């Protein structure tokens, strides 16, 4: 009886260990059949729609190079909501867990009377290989005592979709 109990206990321990760790028992066939998720890449061209709190939606094209550099082409932020003709330098990084960060300087219309120069900082997450969404902050160089950063800043949200072709 003790021998049977011992065998049963050893069997339970082995089954538990196999269930938890698997001990690498996957065969090459099962590994080949398992779908491999391809990591999304920020490299390429992106159409970014963004809105700062209290303002209308704006658009830009973010072109990102493999080196972590890129550019912003502002589509409707010039005077009279016209496109800005010269791309502005930008930088980006891809973070763990499908998160991305990209930023660059821009001059934006704020409200109906003013334009301010500052830095647009986008922080988001891949929704798929061709879409990103997240939050942004626009930090100007105008000093503001009430701000915890001591500079005027606005927050908002954005959505970006990959542009195919050139």
Q: Is the pLDDT of residue 28 over 60?
A: no
The pair of three-digit structure tokens given for residue 110, joined into one six-digit string: 């704020």
Average pLDDT over residues 148-155: 86
pLDDT value, residue 89: 97
Q: pLDDT (tens digit, 9 = 90+) per residue, 81-96?
A: 888 889 999 999 999 8
User: Residue 122: which pLDDT band, with cuts at 50, 70 and 90?
Assistant: very high
- Does the residue 39 lie in any domain? no
pLDDT value, residue 34: 41
8 lies in the same domain as 53: no
70 lies in the same domain as 19: no
Q: Is 27 exposed, middle or buried (0-12, 13-18, 19+ CB in 10 A)?
A: exposed
Nearest residue to 65 via CA among 48, 49, 85, 45: 45
Domain hosting 25: range is: 2-33
The CA-CA-CA angle for residues 112, 55, 85, to 5°, reads: 75
118 lies in the same domain as 147: yes
Average pLDDT over residues 41-65: 93
**Residue appearing with tokens 């929704």:** 127
16 lies in the same domain as 64: no
Average pLDDT over residues 127-136: 97
């Amino acid at each position: 009886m003790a021998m049977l109990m011992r065998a049963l206990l050893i069997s339970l321990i082995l089954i538990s260990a196999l269930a938890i760790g698997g001990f690498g028992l996957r065969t090459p066939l099962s590994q080949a059949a398992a779908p491999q998720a391809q990591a999304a890449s920020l490299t390429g061209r992106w159409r970014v729609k963004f809105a700062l709190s209290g303002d209308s939606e704006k658009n830009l094209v973010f072109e990102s190079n493999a080196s972590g550099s890129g550019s912003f082409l502002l589509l409707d932020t010039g005077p009279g909501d016209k496109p800005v003709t010269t791309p502005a330098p930008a930088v980006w990084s891809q973070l763990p867990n499908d998160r991305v960060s990209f930023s660059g300087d821009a001059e934006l219309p704020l409200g109906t009377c003013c334009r301010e120069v500052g830095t647009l900082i986008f922080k988001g997450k891949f929704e798929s290989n061709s879409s990103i969404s997240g939050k942004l902050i626009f930090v100007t160089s105008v000093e503001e005592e009430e701000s915890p950063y001591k500079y005027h800043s606005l927050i908002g949200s954005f959505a970006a979709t990959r542009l195919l072709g050139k």
